[in-house]
Amino acid sequence: GAVVSQHPSRVICKSGTSVKIECRSLDFQATTMFWYRQFPKQSLMLMATSNEGSKATYEQGVEKDKFLINHASLTLSTLTVTSAHPEDSSFYICSARVRKLAGHEQYFGPGTRLTVT
Amino acid sequence: AQSVTQLGSHVSVSEGALVLLRCNYSSSVPPYLFWYVQYPNQGLQLLLKYTSAATLVKGINGFEAEFKKSETSFHLTKPSAHMSDAAEYFCAVTVFSGGYQKVTFGTGTKLQVIP
């Protein structure tokens, strides 16, 4: 089946630094990628939707200058957390959506645990 | 290790009929269970969640789900389907343990509502 990978799986960074998370669709081309974050014991929260070659659409309350999303190709989207703060510590998950004959299919990455110290 | 199985990738119901979307899970530790809905061209939205409190969980739009540990199930139901319920539904199990967090999704069930 289709696989979505995320790298790194865990990252620890210091406050004020930036960290980049990659989301790749390994054996298919994704028309759309979604980025979510999940706090402990909470549900996923959609951060943004990105389509290849166009600017990401951010959900209300998500700072686009802080969470930079680049969808450079049909197999790669990156989320960069700029000037990270401890409150940005969270679990970030991406998903990739592909169009098929019978409709769309969606696959989820394994997530990236970000800890900001 | 954990896993989620959603039986039926496509489910069709008539408007006004009962909706039943099945989800079975396995987890080596007590899980948090979620149902999400996804409308075309949109991201996931939370429908409801089970977090070890009441086993019958009520969510938005008239949906509810019952956690049955003995059956390792968390099926989603709605007494009367509405046309606007047509969407894709994902069941997910999440484990939180100290600094460890893992989310596993089912493969999704597309719900079609027939007028």
pLDDT of the residue at B99: 67
The nearest CA of chain A is from the CA of B56 a distance in Å of 17
- For residue A115, list chain B residues with Cβ-Cβ distance below 8 A: 99
Convert the pLDDT of each residue in A55-75 to its tens digit: 899 999 999 999 999 988 889
**Chain B residues touching chain A at CB-CB below 8 Å:** 32, 34, 36, 38, 40-46, 49, 51, 88, 90, 92, 94, 96, 99, 101-103, 105, 108, 110
Convert the pLDDT of each residue in A83-113 to its tens digit: 999 999 999 999 998 887 777 788 999 999 9
Inter-chain CB proximity A34 and B49 less than 8 Å:
no
CA-closest candidate to residue B36, choices A46, A55, A67 = A46
Share of chain A above pLDDT 90, in %: 68
Convert the pLDDT of each residue in B44-88 to its tens digit: 999 999 987 789 999 999 999 999 999 999 999 999 999 999 999
Cβ neighbours of B5 (radius 10 Å): 14
Rg (CA), chain A: 14
A14-18, A60-64, B37-41, B111-115: range with lowest mean pLDDT:
B37-41
pLDDT of the residue at A52: 80
Q: How far apart are CA A111 and CA A91, in angstroms?
A: 6
Hey, of B33, B44, B45, B89, which one would you mutate to test binding to chain A, going by the most A CBs within 10 A of its CB?
Answer: B44
Q: Which residues contact A100 (CB under 8 A, 6 or more apart)?
A: none
Q: Is A31 exposed, middle or buried (0-12, 13-18, 19+ CB in 10 A)?
A: middle
Share of chain B above pLDDT 90, in %: 74
Pull the structure tokens for residue A107.
């696959």
Quick one: pLDDT band at residue B97, thresholds 50, 70, 90? confident
Mean pLDDT, all residues of chain B: 92
**Mean pLDDT calculated for residue range A42-55:** 88
Q: How far apart are CA B49 and CA B43, in angstroms?
A: 17
Chain A residue with the nearest C-alpha to that of B38? A106
Chain A residue with the nearest C-alpha to that of B104? A110
